[in-house]
Structure 1
Amino acid sequence: MSMAAATSYSDAFIAAQQSASDNAATDAAQNGLKEEQWQQNLNEILQCPDCREFPPNLIEEFSSGDMVCASCGLVLGDRIIDTRSEWRTFANDDQNNDDPSRVGDSVNPLLNGSQLETNIAFEGRDARELQRLQSKAAKKNDKDSKQSNTALLAAYREISNFCDAMNISKTTQDAAKHIFKMTDDAKYFKGKSSEVIIAGCIFIACRQSNAPRTFREIFALTKVPKKEIGRTFKMLEKFLQDDKNKTFVRPINDGGAPPTLSATNATELCARYCSGLRFRNNHLMARISSELCEKSSSVKDLAGRSPLSVAAACIYMISHLMGEGKSSKQIASVAGVSDGTIKTAYRFLYQARDSLIDEEWLTKGGRLDRLLVN
C-alpha cells in the first residue's frame, strides 16, 4: 500500500471518529435536555421570604384556599386544593351499631323529619313514571313532617323579612325562629294567627339578645296591635321560664345564663336614636346620651315615664349641650313620641342640670349656655 493511500485512510478514519463523537455528544445533550425537562427536583422547599425559618412553619388554610406562614401571616400560595375527606359519620344516629358514611348538607334543627330527600329530574319518558312514584312514596311516608316543614319555612321567611327591614342581626333572627319552633312543637298557641306569634317571637328575641325593640316599632313593622303583642309576650315569657324549656337559653347566651326579659330601658335606645339623627360625631353623642340616661334615674319627676320619652329628652339636651342641636320635632320623628312629651321630660332634666351634667362633657366641647330654657 502506498504512502498516499495510507494517509487518506487515516484521515478518513479520524474524520469518522470525530463525526461519531459529535453525534454521541449531540444525542447526550438531547437526552440531558429531556431528562432535565421531566425531572422533578425534590430538594425545592417552600420557604417564607420574610421569616426564612427552617423548617418552614406553613399552614394550609383550606377554608380560604391559601398557604400561609404561621409566623408572620404572609400568604405564599393561593388556590390550595382541599384533599381532606368529605365524608360525614353517622355512627351515633343509626341503629345496629353500624357506621355508614354519607355526604350532604347538615341537618337543620329548625325543621322536622330526617331532611334526607331525593328528587328525580324530569328527563326522558321513563323519568315521568319514576318521578310520580317517588312523589307518591314521599307523600305517604312524610306527609305530616312535610306539611309542618312547609308552614315552618313560610314563618321563617316572614321572620327573616321583618328582621331585615329593621336591621336585626342574624343571631337574633335565629333566636326568633327557634322560639317559634318551640311554640309550634308544643302547640302552645292554639287559635292564634302566625303573624301574632311571629311578632311576639321577634320582640322577645330582641330582648334576649340585648337589642330591644319597643311595642310601637314591632307594630309599625308587623301591623299587629300593641295590646296583642303585649299579651303574646307575656305568654311567651311564661312559656320560656318553664323548667322543661330552659334548655333554649344556652344557644343564645354562651354562658347559659337565664334570658334577659327585663323591660326596655332608655339607655339601650340612645344608640339607635342617635344613629337615626345623623350627628357629626355619632359615637360621642350616643355615649354621652346613654350616660345621661343612667343619671336621670335619680330625677324623681321622671319616674314612671316611658323610656322612649326619657331617651329622646336626654338626646335633646345633649345635642344642644354639645353644639349639634336638634329640634324636638326631629327627635320625635325618630323616637316615635310627640315633641310635647320630649319638652316636658326635658324640663325636669333642665331643672336638675347641675347634678346631671358631668364636667368631662364640658371638656369635650359642651357648654351650659347652649341649653334651651324650657
Structure 2
Amino acid sequence: MVIKHKVSECQEHILVNDEEHGEILCAKCGRVIQDKTEEAGAEWRSFENQPDRGRTGDGTCLSKHDMGLATIISRSNKDVTGKPLSVGMKNTIERLRMWDNRSQAYSAGDRNLRQAFSQLLSLKEKLGLSDAVIEKTAYIYRKAHEKKITRGRPISAFLCATLYAACRETETPRTLKEISKSSMVKVKQINKCYRILVERFDLRMPLVDPIVCVSRIANKAGVSEKTKREAANILKEYERKETTAGKSPMVVAATAVYIATLKNNDGFTQRDIAQAANVTEVAIRNRTASIRCAIGLA
C-alpha cells in the first residue's frame, strides 16, 4: 500500500505499509513514521502445522444425525504445542473419545437417525444427488421421525420413500426402480412407505417434466447434442397437442429420444434407449405410436 502524505519534516513522504514487521515507513528517506501497527484482518495461522488454516468445521446441516453440532476429539495424541502426550494422558483421552462417541447416539431415536443418514450419504454417491436433495430428504425424514411415523417400519424403506419424495419435490429425475436398485430395497416396500408419507403429510407432488429426463437418458445412451435438441422439440410439440398427465415421464422422454435418433439416423435401437432409461422396450414401442400420431410424423 503506497500513500502520499505531507508532513513538516519532509515536503512529501511516500508511505509504505510493511505488514510483516508492523511498520509504516517512508520509501524516500527510510524514516519509520509509525511502528507496532495493529493488523485489522483475520488471524491466519495453523496450530497443527497443516496447510488448512481454517478455525471452524462444517456448517450445520440436517443430513447429519447431530446436525453437525457434536464435538470431535482428534485421533492425534499430541498437545497444542505438538508434543506427544504421556501414557496416562493417552489413556484418559482414549476414554474421553469412547464416551464422546457413545453420547452422540445415546437414545434409540439418535441411533435411528444415525443409521438412516449414513445410508442416505451412501445413496447420494450412488445416485449422484445434489446437496439440496439430500437436505430436503433429511428434513422430511426428521419430520416423520418427530411424529413417530417411522416407528415399526424398516429404516431403509422409509428413507428411500423420503428420498423419492424429495426428488419429486425438487424435480430431480430419479425413479423408484433406480432408488430400489441402489438401496437393495424392494419397490413394493418403498411404495408402501411413500403412500403413508403422502397421506400423513398431505404432500402435493408436482408433475415431473419429461424434458428434464431427456438430457439424462441421452447422456447415458451416448447420443449426439443434435439428437438431444430434436428430442426436446418433439416433447414440446407433444405436450402442446396432448397432455402428458398420467404417463410415465421417463417413458415419454425415452420415446422422444428414440424418435429423434430415427430422424437423425443415429443407429440406436429401442433396446439401447430402454436400457439407458431403465424402462422396457414394450413401453417405448407403445408410446412411439401415440407420439408419432400426435405430432404428425409418418
Residue type of the partner of 1:42?
Answer: C
CA contact (8 A) 2:61 2:135 kept: no
Aligned pairs for 1:113-132 (under 5 A) are 115-116=70-71, 123-127=85-89, 130-131=92-93
Report the alpha carbon displacement of residue 170 of structure 1 after superposing the two structures with TM: 2.3
TM-score (norm 1): 0.54
Partner of residue 282, structure 2: 340
* Counterpart residue identity of residue 223, structure 2: F
- Which of 140, 150, 154 lines up with 1:179 in the alignment? 140
Verify: 1:229 aligned to 2:169, yes or no: no
Residue type of the alignment partner of 1:84: A
SS at match of 1:262: coil
Residue 225 (structure 2) pairs with residue 278 (structure 1): no
1:48-63 matched pairs, under 5 angstroms: none
What does residue 313 of structure 1 align with?
A: 255
Deviates more, 1:110-119 or 1:220-229: 110-119
Q: Please give the per-residue CA displacement for 1:233-287, whole angstroms capped at 9, x wherever unaligned.
A: 2332344448xxxxxxxxxxxxxxxxx7224342332121111121222xx4334
- Name which of 107, 131, 154 aligns with 2:115: 154
Deviation at 1:334, TM superposition (A): 1.2
How big is the alpha-carbon RMSD for the aligned residues of Structure 1 and Structure 2? 3.8
Deviation per CA, 1:208-241: give whole Å up to 9, x if none: 2221311222222222222322222233234444
1:105 to 33, 49, 57: 57
Q: Residues of 2 paired with 1:353 and 1:300: CA distance?
A: 9
Question: Which residue of the partner structure matches residue 233 of structure 2?
Answer: 291
Preserved contact between residue 332 and residue 338 of structure 1 (Cα < 8 Å): yes
Larger radius of gyration, structure 1 or 2?
A: 1
Which protein is richer in helix relative to its size? 1
- Higher RCO (CA-CA < 8 Å; seq separation 6+): 2
Instruction: Evaluate the alpha carbon distance shift between residue 280 and residue 144 of structure 1 in structure 2; reply closer, same or farther with a 3 A threshold.
Output: closer
TM-score by length of 2: 0.66
Structure 1: distance between partners of 2:278 and 2:105: 44
**Alpha-carbon spacing, 1:145–1:109, altered in 2? closer, same or farther (3 Å):** farther
- Alpha-carbon distance in 2 for matches of 1:301, 1:177: 33
The structure-2 alpha-carbon separation of the partners of 1:288 and 1:237, relative to structure 1 and needing over 3 Å to count, comes to farther
Answering whether residue 84 of structure 2 is matched by residue 84 of structure 1, we say no
Q: List gaps (5 residues or longer) in structure 1.
A: 1-37, 45-80, 87-102, 243-259, 358-372
State whether residues 107 and 115 of structure 1, in contact with CA within 8 Å, keep that contact through their aligned partners in structure 2: no
Indicate the residue corresponding to 2:155 in structure 1: 194
Q: Per the alignment, in what secondary structure is the counterpart of residue 235 of structure 1?
A: helix
8 Å contact from structure 1 (residues 216, 226) kept in 2: yes
Whether the 8 Å CA contact 2:237–2:295 is kept in 1: the answer is no
One-letter amino acid of the structure 2 residue matched with residue 310 of structure 1: V
Provide closer, same or farther for how the CA distance between residues 41 and 153 of structure 1 changes in structure 2, counting only shifts above 3 A.
same
Are the structure 2 counterparts of residues 266 and 192 from structure 1 closer, same or farther at C-alpha, using a change threshold of 3 Å?
same
The alpha-carbon distance between structure 1 residues 185 and 107, as it changes in their structure 2 partners (threshold 3 A), is farther
Q: What SS does the corresponding residue of 1:176 show, helix, strand or coil?
A: helix
Distance 1:209 1:218 in 2: 16
d(CA) in 2 for partners of 1:169, 1:120: 30
Q: Judging changes above 3 Å, is the alpha-carbon distance between structure 1 residues 220 and 82 closer, same or farther for their aligned structure 2 residues?
A: farther
Deviations along 1:302-338, one digit per CA (max 9) or x if unpaired, are: 8744333222221111112233242111111112222
State yes or no: 1:167 paired with 2:122.
no
Q: Between the two proteins, what is the percent identity of the paired residues?
A: 15
Structure 2 residue runs of 5 or longer lacking an equivalent are 1-20, 29-38, 45-54, 78-84
Q: 1:174 to 1:41 in 2, by over 3 A?
A: same
Separation in 2, partners of 1:285, 1:43: 66
Whether contact under 8 Å (2:116, 2:155) holds in the other structure is yes
Letter in 2 for 1:289: A
CA distance in 2, matches of 1:346, 1:336: 16
1:276 maps to a residue whose letter is: K
The count of corresponding residues between Structure 1 and Structure 2 is 247
Asked if residue 267 in structure 1 is aligned to residue 222 in structure 2, the reply is: no
Q: Distance in 2 between matches of 1:265 and 1:40?
A: 63
Distance, in Å, in 1 between the alignment partners of 2:277 and 2:73 is: 51
- Cα pair distance change 1:42/1:238, threshold 3 Å: farther
